[in-house]
Amino acid sequence: MIYSVLHTTTFTYHQAVRESVMEVRMQPRSDGRQRCLTFQLDVDPAANIMQYRDFTGNTVHHFDIAGNHTQVKVTARSSVEVDSVPPPRAADAGNWRDLDRAVAAQSPTEDYWEMLLPSYFAKPSDRLHALAEQIECQRRDTPLQLLTEVNEAIYESFDYVKNSTKVDSPIDEALQSRHGVCQDFAHIMIALVRPLQIPCRYVSGYMFHHDESQETTDRSLAGASHAWVEALVPPLGWIAFDPTNNLVGGDRHIRVAIGRDYADVPPTRGVHKGEAHGELSVAVTVSPSDDPLPEPPATTVVIQSRPALLRANRLDHEQQQQQQQ
């Protein structure tokens, strides 16, 4: 399947700011069963855009806008081919000994250790330990069976509630309230399985949602970016688990960036100079490439921010230029 993706992010400031410096991770990856066929990034006001690859191979574009401005609009258009693969079969997956051997041997192209350690958003807590005991998250059966059951347990134990947490919320907030968004559920699953010596990484990207005429159990929003996890299951490799929608693998997920957690892969991040209230709005459209060109997407995520307090007369403030998944 070939998908067309239109992702628009707009930063609006109530007073003019200056010297915005920003980096974005919006270009889909080309690896495994996915290929990014075309990609175009537009910035308004116009800026010179440069790019590099980060430590996990994600493409990062960065730019700066020197003059005064009250709005920054970033528009990413991409065409992505995703191969359809059947869900992993238990008969093809290895046992715990196979997993331990794979981790110990390491791969010439993979660094599993980074995906085994606690990270900024995916780290142990008393509430996480209680959940692990509740769902019997321990070395049992096979890695694939355990991961599938943990994925389903998170889906059944938590409600998806839009804007119920913030982009920098710790997982304890979702663990206490038992509701959150896909970013929270991905972090919870990562924090649950890494102590079992299962390499697990965070994936930021998009998901294609069927139209209203097709029955679906998807809980994530159709007009926003999405987050899920990938766990190592030898000899199958990295397998996608989506605890928000209780999905394993599939061809509706479009991978943009991978990392230890959200802190490694925010779609946008930046700073600017100047005191101003700001508003971040996000709109995403994912459609089959043979469909008619979509209408400009409606905004589905809006985040407002207040200016930071002046510190030692400095006017250089970090803007929360990240998206709620």
Residues 69-116: tens digit of each pLDDT = 999 999 999 999 999 888 899 999 999 999 999 999 877 777 799 999
* Residues 243, 214 share a domain: yes
Question: Is the same domain home to 122 and 256?
Answer: yes
Asked if the structure places residue 324 within a domain, the reply is no
Closest to 323 in 3D by CA, of 18, 8, 5: 8
Residue 222: pLDDT band with limits 50, 70, 90? confident
In percent, the amount of the chain with pLDDT more than 90 equals 76
Tell me which of 247, 264, 281 is where a domain ends.
264
DSSP, res 28? P
Relative to beta strand 159-160, strand 179-180 is parallel
Domain check: are 57 and 151 in the same one? no
Residue 298: per-residue pLDDT: 61
Q: How far apart are CA 273 and CA 284, in angstroms?
A: 28
What pLDDT, on the 0 to 100 scale, is given for residue 302? 58
pLDDT of residue 320: 42
The CB density around residue 63, as the number of other CB atoms within 10 Å, is: 20
Query: pLDDT tens digits for 177-197?
Result: 999 999 999 999 999 999 999
Residue 292, burial from CB neighbour count under 10 angstroms (0-12, 13-18, 19+): exposed
Q: Would 203 be classed as within a structural domain?
A: yes
Distance CA 304, CA 224 (A): 17
Domain end call among 249, 264, 279: 264
Domain membership flag for residue 14? yes
276 and 238 assigned to the same domain: no
Q: Please, which pLDDT band fits residue 278 given cuts at 50, 70 and 90?
A: confident
Flag whether 137 is in a domain: yes
The amino acid sitting at 91 is A
Q: Which residues contact 91 (CB under 8 A, 6 or more apart)?
A: none
* Cα 196 to Cα 191: distance, rounded to the nearest angstrom: 10
Measure the CA–CA gap between 43 and 7, rounded to whole angstroms: 12
Query: What contacts 138, CB < 8 A, 6 or more positions away?
Result: 132, 196
Domain match, 65 and 155 both:
no
* Beta carbons of 248 and 151 less than 8 angstroms apart: yes
Q: Comparing C-alpha atoms, which of 157, 324, 155 is closest to residue 226?
A: 324
By mean pLDDT, which of 23-32, 44-53, 228-237, 300-309 is the weakest? 300-309
In a domain, residue 239? The reply is yes
3-21: per-residue pLDDT in tens?
999 999 999 999 999 999 9
In a domain, 325, yes or no: no
Which segment of 52-61, 67-76, 202-211, 284-293 scores lowest on mean pLDDT? Answer: 284-293
User: Which of 222, 240, 264 delimits the end of a domain?
Assistant: 264
**Do 66 and 15 fall within a single domain?**
yes
**What CATH number does residue 308 fall under?**
2.60.40.2250
pLDDT tens digit string along 27-72?
A: 999 998 999 999 999 999 999 999 999 999 999 999 999 999 999 9
Quick one: 94 and 240 in the same domain?
Answer: yes
C-alpha dihedral (132, 134, 135, 139), degrees to nearest 10: 50
Could you tell me where the beta strands, DSSP code E, fall in the chain? Answer: 2-24, 34-44, 50-53, 59-65, 69-82, 159-160, 179-180, 200-207, 226-233, 237-242, 247-248, 253-259, 268-273, 278-288, 301-305, 316-319
Residues 228 and 157 in one domain: yes
Helix (H, G, I), strand (E, B) or coil at 210: coil
In the chain, % of residues over pLDDT 70: 88
pLDDT of residue 299: 60
d(C-alpha 279, C-alpha 28), whole Å: 26
Note whether 48 and 191 are same-domain residues: no
CATH of the domain at 106: 3.10.620.30
What pLDDT is attached to residue 315? Answer: 37
Identify whether residues 293 and 149 lie together within a single domain.
no
Give me 102's structure tokens: 């794979």
Q: Residue 213 class from Cβ within 10 Å (0-12 exposed, 13-18 middle, 19+ buried)?
A: exposed
Confidence at residue 31, expressed as pLDDT on a 0 to 100 scale: 92
| 166 contact partners, CB below 8 Å, separation of at least 6 | 324
* Domain membership of residue 313 as a residue range: 2-81+267-319
Which tokens belong to 7? Answer: 């992702």
Any domain includes 124: yes
Whether the pLDDT of residue 324 is over 60: the answer is no
Our count of domains for the chain comes to 2
User: Mean pLDDT over all residues of the chain?
Assistant: 89
pLDDT for 313: 36
pTM for the model stands at: 0.90
CA dist 25 and 20 (Å) reads 17
Q: In terms of domains, do 172 and 201 share one? A: yes
Tell whether omega for the bond before 45 is within 30 degrees of 0, i.e. cis.
yes
Same domain, 107 and 246: yes
